[in-house]
A = this chain, B = another copy of it.
Amino acid sequence: MNEENNNQADMDKKNQKHKKAMQKQKEKVDAKIESADEERGVLLVLTGNGKGKSSSGFGMVLRALGYDHKVGVVQFIKGVQLSGEEIFLKEKASLLPNFDDEDFYQMGTGFTWNTQDRTADIEAAEKTWAVAEKMLQDDRYNLVLLDELTYMIAYKYLDEERVLKALRDRPREMSVVVTGRGGGSALQELADTVSEIKHAYKAGVKARKGVDF
């Protein structure tokens, strides 16, 4: 009987402690939300050597499509292999109101590591950038994903200042997500949020459909 009472007291104490910790956590979160009250679009850069940069961008696309937001997606490096996001945006997203063919564009030359032709790559990058630039001026878009854009800056396929200017001059309400390794300090400086994804690769498992591509 005594032991039972002790157990009950222990449990009460634990619950009390937990309640206090959670209260503190909630106050912290609330304060953070309170202090961040500027209503405008954000520029997110998802970078680092880890996996999940593009996935994270496409997760935001899914989220925005949930709200029937107008979403634009431009992919600057297209693998030779078909990707799940490609099929989704081409075939499934047409089921959604508000997502049209013009909202999705891919650089058409295949993986840049496969082409090994700098002049052709630059041409393709310029053409693709023209599509992105147009989206960045179009205030119907709530969210624009510029997938793997950083490589175009890193390889000097695109003029950095031109890219930064378009991002800077975008409509105030538009959020933009840029993915890819590197991209330079000026882009990170301009960003509201930089997420660096570090990757701890472990087992020798083959890249998998629906997970990796």
Copies of this chain in the oligomer: 2
Assembly CA distance A62 to B58 (angstroms): 7
Given contacts A58-B59, A197-B197, A211 and B88 within 8 Å (CB-CB): no
Q: In the complex, which of the residues A59, A65, A209 has the most CB atoms of chain B within 10 Å of its own CB atom? A: A59
Given contacts A62-B85, A63-B58, A112 and B210 within 8 Å (CB-CB): no
Quick check: B92 and A208 within 8 Å, CB to CB?
Answer: no
A117 interface contact, C-beta 8 A: yes
Q: How many residues of A contact B (CB 8 A)?
A: 86
Assembly CA distance A50 to B44 (angstroms): 12
Assembly CA distance A42 to B204 (angstroms): 10
CB closest residue in chain B, given A89: B66
A194 interface contact, C-beta 8 A: yes
A19 to chain B, nearest CB (A): 4
Quick check: B210 and A14 within 8 Å, CB to CB?
Answer: no
Given contacts A15-B118, A26-B113, A56 and B64 within 8 Å (CB-CB): no
